Chains A and B, each alone.
Chain A
């Protein structure tokens, strides 16, 4: 038991130091990088407000919040591939006592850090605009944390397919658009025709969108089932990432 606690302690410490190194130091030295995760969702919310007025703004803010989270989570795909293929520093971690879980958690946390200002902005805006209480805010944050774990795991899983530096910038932008913009995050699932809803449920952010809309008080599908669906998806991606993550190459 003591050994397990010690392992968990060192694992968390490793994840924190990697996120300080790759996340906090990077944003301190290149503060504009925070804006890259934030600017596109913000401009989309702006257009939604211009064309849809106040009634659409609530949906737009939820979409902006999820998009910001997706952009700063899926980027781990590029980062993990870059560190493995270009910097080759992953090899130094593999040939060390560092566990793949702490390394992956550290990288995922570090990539979340530049996206946090955007996420915090949208949560604050959403909370003020919809007059949310503490429990609602807590539930929104919980859904976002699960979504972060979900999308980061998907990012790690996809990164294992990258073999060449040319692959680095391919997958994350595509996934970012599919998960953060095309999926029903800026608009309710009910706006889609029946056949398209089935396809939409293939995207994990559909669940997050519907859950947050339910928390805020917009009409939505059954939030409990959606929450379970999101959890299942998250476990699946964590499993796939763990299975495919090229810690020891074959």
Chain B
């Protein structure tokens, strides 16, 4: 399998002095869904902009579909399409007009643009809204317009920067279906998100990034197995941390504590928590990608 994106020691320091990427290296295989996870400000959008040829890196190298982002951007731009984070369509124009205009501006013929725009809007279940001005569409449908513009170009690589941000759960699930369909059609998809279940549900491979550095990379199952725990106990309330540490690793995320342990030990902890004073609430569940994320980037209590 080929490589869609290869980044080697990418560093990006903005004029303000903020270091958004710090010697960041990554390999994204072709024809897969690859997700990059991280908190707000972790460097996800900066990375996406660099590989989309929108932003210059301070140092390091990056290749997209085999082409260098610095001096072969024209070749890259023919083959990719981007949905920017929190991008919005024009309010007075319709979904059909957006897709049609974008295709013609990219060099498609009028006839092909018309045909393709209708085909893509149909594929996204938007045919009923094709002639409705975007100002009258819901947030989910507006986001679909941005996606429609991008996928209509038949890109080899589609870069989606937080494509489901602000969408309700049903609209988000609809977007997941579309992304999976695109993958089945052979498109390489690079996705940034901070929704863990989204990455877990969709991705063949994920990378977790924090403060511009890659923390871990690989298939979801493999990443989960990298932490020495099978069960998470989420605890809210005042507990004896020293005692709890005997049962596993504790990580603080906001006001919630997460105890990472195994299934057998978790039963002991549960009976102990049940016997504790009131004011503690807790839940037990198998390790999820979100837990792995918190485990890797959260505040560890030693």
Contact = CB atoms under 8 A, between A and B. Distances in A.
Contacts of A96: 77, 81, 102, 105-106, 153
A166 interface: no
A94 B48 CA distance: 13
B104 A13 contact: yes
A249 B54 CA distance: 6
A248 B101 contact: no
A93 interface: yes
Interface stretch (B1-9, B87-95, B184-192, B240-248): B87-95
Nearest to A9: B107
Main secondary structure on B side of the interface with A: mixed
A30 B153 CA distance: 29
Interface in B84-120: 84-90, 92-93, 97-98, 101-102, 104-107
Interface string B217-250: 0000000000000000000000000000000000
Contacts of B83: 92
Contacts of B149: 92
Contacts of A95: 52-54, 77, 80-82, 159
B78 interface: yes
Interface string A81-104: 000001111011111111000110
B105 A26 contact: no
Contacts of A21: 90, 93, 97-98, 101
Contacts of A93: 105
Contacts of B159: 95
Interface string B140-171: 00000010011001000001000000000000
* Residue with the greatest number of chain A CB neighbours at <10 A, chosen from B83, B85, B87, B97: B87
Nearest to B103: A17
B77 to A, nearest CB: 5
Contacts of B198: none
A132 B145 CA distance: 49
Main secondary structure on A side of the interface with B: helix
B81 A92 contact: yes
Interface string A5-22: 000001001100110111
Size bin of chain A's contact surface: 20 to 34
Given A17-B104, A21-B101, A94 B54 contact: yes
A106 B98 CA distance: 15
Contacts of A86: 88
Contact of B106 (A22, A26, A87, A97): A97
Contacts of A87: 87-90
B82 A91 contact: yes
Contacts of B146: 92
Contact of B53 (A29, A103, A106, A248): A248
B88 A97 contact: no
Contacts of A248: 53-56, 73
Size bin of chain B's contact surface: 35 or more
Nearest to A10: B107
B87 A97 contact: no
Contacts of A14: 104-105, 107
Contacts of B52: 91, 94-95
Contacts of A196: none
Given A88-B87, A96-B106, A97-B106, A17 B101 contact: yes
Contacts of B84: 88-89, 91-92
A243 interface: no
Given A21-B97, A95-B77, A88 B85 contact: yes
B124 interface: no
Contact of A29 (B56, B82, B133): B133
B192 to A, nearest CB: 14
A22 B90 contact: yes
28 contacts: A10-B107, A14-B105, A17-B101, A21-B93, A21-B98, A25-B92, A26-B90, A87-B88, A89-B87, A89-B88, A89-B89, A91-B49, A91-B52, A92-B83, A92-B102, A92-B146, A92-B149, A92-B150, A96-B106, A97-B77, A98-B106, A103-B105, A248-B53, A248-B55, A248-B56, A248-B73, A249-B56, A250-B56
Interface of B: 49, 52-56, 73-74, 77-78, 80-90, 92-93, 97-98, 101-102, 104-107, 133, 146, 149-150, 153, 159
Give the 6 A-B CB pairs with smallest separation, nearest first.
Answer: A88-B87, A21-B101, A88-B84, A95-B52, A91-B84, A95-B82
